[in-house]
Amino acid sequence: MQTTYENTVISTFLEELSSAAPAPGGGSVAALSGAMAASLVLMVCNLTIGKESFAENEQAIKAILEKALKLREELMNAVDEDIQAYNAVIGCYRLPKGTQEEKSARKEKLQAALRQANEVPYRTAKTCYYVLELNRRLPQIGNPNAISDVAVSAQLAEAALQSALYNVDINCNYIKDEGYVSNYRKKRAELAKRAGNMKQEIIDTVQTMLCS
């Protein structure tokens, strides 16, 4: 299995995703989907920059492009980070538990690994939200010939966000710290709601432009 997917061709990733191996899995797919959404933002920016008819908004578009580049890099890193976090959890389950000391150490390390495995997809979800935010301005200042790509990016970013949050849900089921879990369940619900509302706002704007 690949140790990093940064320079992996799509077909290889899909083959490994299709296998019986538990990783890469849904968390990595969420991150990759978010990276593709960011790439669509970049495409719309690149189709706008340098065009005389959009010159008044060029600096704003360039600022969006710079942010999208950083977000895409973060999300591509998260593809591997999710796998590493999952493998760390699996490693903890394999620790010895023959003595009381071993059981205690195993439990402590497992809970720490589960927290990390939880925080990676939550961070992915937040990054996808920032991608979604970038799409918010593009219908007004971007190349209108790429308006449908704004809609695809918004749909994909929100879907990636919601997908990452499912991984938060399942990890929280195994974390014993009730305060920690309660906090993350609250944060994930708020983030999911905000993302859904923003996506709909973007889609409504795009739909109005496409049908006008």
> Which amino acid appears at position 154 of this protein?
A
What local confidence, expressed as pLDDT, does residue 35 receive? 97
pLDDT value of residue 17: 85
Identify whether 180 is part of a domain. yes
Q: State pLDDT tens for residues 24-65.
A: 889 999 999 999 999 999 999 999 999 999 999 999 999 999
Residue 99 lies inside a defined structural domain of this protein: yes
pLDDT at 3: 55
At 60 the three-state DSSP class reads helix
Q: Domain for residue 108, yes or no?
A: yes
Q: What is the mean pLDDT of the chain?
A: 94
Residue 15: inside a domain, yes or no? no
Candidates 184, 13, 185; CA nearest to 82 is 13
Let me know if residue 29 belongs to a domain.
yes
Predicted pLDDT of residue 198? 98
Q: Which residues of the chain have pLDDT under 70?
A: 1-7
Tell whether 132 is covered by a domain.
yes
pTM of the model: 0.92
Domain count, the chain: 1
Q: Give the range of the structural domain holding residue 176, as residue numbers without chain letter.
A: 24-211
| Domain CATH number, residue 205 | 1.20.120.680
Quick check: is 3 in a domain?
no
3-state SS track over 15-50: HHHHCCCCCCCHHHHHHHHHHHHHHHHHHHHHCCCC
Q: Is residue 13 part of a domain?
A: no
